[in-house]
Amino acid sequence: MPTLPWTVPNRPPQATEIHVFASRFETRTLWGALKFLARTPGVWRQVSNAPGAYGASLKAEPFKRTFWTLSAWESPEALKAFAHSGTHAPTSRGLAPQMRDARFTAWAASSDDLPVSWAEARRRLA
């Protein structure tokens, strides 16, 4: 699966502080990577309709068993509401045993800086 392009569910106001979130997941096995891929469309649909979501992208390297997410939110609370609801909540719990490693980072940015680059996300996750 190639990178899912930056999608903008809701347009942010100009020159507004936003919450950016990036993650990196590595599965234990190729089977775990396939499970991650199989569940991606449902979570992607949820993101595309999520209140407070200002943008999101996914980079998948399934043969390396590695997945990267990058998203922008109105607030940390909007991200938390997304993560604990809809398809994402049971998907993340169900995939937890498949994970070998997971890294997360979040930072404040300006809405004028969207979309955030993958280079910036990887730098912050390193």
| Structural domain spans, the chain | 4-125
- Helix, strand, coil distribution of the chain in percent, nearest 5: 40, 35, 25
pLDDT of residue 120: 97
Please compute the mean of the pLDDT values over residues 5-11 and round it to a whole number.
96
Q: pLDDT digit string (tens) for 43-66? A: 999 999 999 999 999 999 999 999
List, in sequence order, every beta strand (DSSP E) within 42-97.
Answer: 53-61, 66-73
Residue 48, C-beta contacts closer than 8 angstroms, at least 6 positions apart: 7, 9
Domain 4-125 fold? Alpha-Beta Plaits (3.30.70)
